[in-house]
Structure 1
Amino acid sequence: MAQATDQAFYDRADAHVELANQQIEKLEDLGKVSASMTFAASRFNAWMAARSFKSAAEMAAAREELLKYFSEQYRMMLEDNLDEHIEHFDRYVLGKDG
């Protein structure tokens, strides 16, 4: 289940962020857009995981492993993005160059 981090990986992620940004412009509620995006990612990941099993029982047996894997992946990605936003706070949040 390893993910490649080539340019296509970032392009796909940017497409999702762009959609979220468009929704924020219409809704003006970051929390609701964030919640929908998180729910969509979890629903897609559950569907993707389900496709690798032959039965519900097989998937149920792997449930804790799946939860651990996806939770760890999310945490690592969130840590990286939080660190980047801390480092570039003025530019990303305040719109200041430099």
Structure 2
Amino acid sequence: MSQDNIQDNNIQDSNVDASVEITPEMQAFYQRADAIIGIANSQLGSDAHSGQVGASLLYAAARYSASVASIGFVKGDDFAKEKDDIVEFYVKQYRQMLSDNLTDYAQNFDKYVQLNQDDKVAK
């Protein structure tokens, strides 16, 4: 999928109710996500298929989340004591985001599949 298509899909067809105003903060959120998706898509090729890139992306998200979660802690022992709560928080967030995106993809399946086909033809 091209970067433009990704941005169009995620911003216009996101799981945000059409009656909800997209704030500048939400717009920035989707633009950051789109940029990361663009980087992931740029990794696709003969050396890496979507499953491999997806696994790297999940690892990167976990690694970055661990770093973010550590902010504010002074000692590693204190941080370690919060591990279960931190994991629960991130798993809950990921589960909701994944569920919302799977629903969106299912509802827009024909459109998204066509965008993927158009992108393959353009390459």
TM class, shorter-length: 0.7 to 0.9
Which structure 2 residues correspond to residues 2-81 of structure 1 after superposition, within 5 A? 6-25=26-45, 27-81=47-101
Displacement of 1:24: 1.0
Displacement of 1:28: 4.8
Displacement of 1:52: 2.2
The unaligned stretches of length 5 or more in structure 2 are: 1-24, 118-123
**Residues 50-59 or 79-88, more deviating:** 50-59
Match for 1:54: what amino acid?
Answer: V
Aligned residues: 92
Over the residues paired in the alignment, what is the CA RMSD in angstroms?
1.6
Runs of 4 or more consecutive aligned structure 1 residues displaced over 6 Å after TM superposition = none
Q: Secondary structure at the match of 2:43?
A: helix
Q: How far apart, in 2, do the equivalents of 1:27 and 1:61 lie?
A: 40
Displacement of 1:26: 5.5
The unaligned stretches of length 5 or more in structure 1 are: none
Kindly indicate whether structure 1 or structure 2 has the higher relative contact order, using CA contacts under 8 Å at least 6 residues apart: 2
Displacement of 1:54: 1.2
Kindly tell me: are residues 33 and 81 of structure 1, through their superposed partners in 2, closer, same or farther at Cα, counting changes over 3 Å?
Answer: same
